[in-house]
Amino acid sequence: MPFAATRVTESLPPATDLLKDYKARALKLPAKPVAVAAAWLASELGQNVTGQLIGVRGRDVFLMSQPRPIAHAIAEGTGWDEPSLAHATQSLFNDHYVDLQSDLEAFNIDPLA
């Protein structure tokens, strides 16, 4: 998951002033830290790292949690209809929902270039 200034990121126009400010800070990141991480992962030093979600944001390298099932709802009989699915998921899933968060909120500090 690279965070770096590239031709693609430079070509994308921000839709809001908030995104414009975020992009101005984010584009300070050189691509070199991403290249170093990619080289590490491809080398013998990274041979034991597999199936992981690793982010590189300047000097900040982070491990993301893996998406895994945490709750199941299994339909009886022939399957779900909207009311039965809504009822089942409300009781089984509600405690597991996470708050919606944008990347601007998740990465709300200046990058460490």
- Which pLDDT does position 105 carry in this prediction? 84
Instruction: Give pLDDT tens digits for 2-56.
Output: 566 778 777 888 888 888 887 777 777 888 999 999 999 999 999 999 999 999 9
- Which pLDDT does position 96 carry in this prediction? 94
Is the Cβ–Cβ distance between 26 and 3 less than 8 Å? yes
pTM value?
0.67
Q: 13 by DSSP, 3-state: which?
A: coil
Is the Cβ–Cβ distance between 33 and 59 less than 8 Å? yes
Q: What are the tokens at 29?
A: 């990141």
Q: Work out the mean pLDDT of the chain and round it to a whole number.
A: 88
* Domain residue extents for the chain: 2-106
DSSP-derived letter for residue 94 is G
Q: How far apart are CA 60 and CA 51, in angstroms?
A: 20
Q: What are the tokens at 37?
A: 């991480």
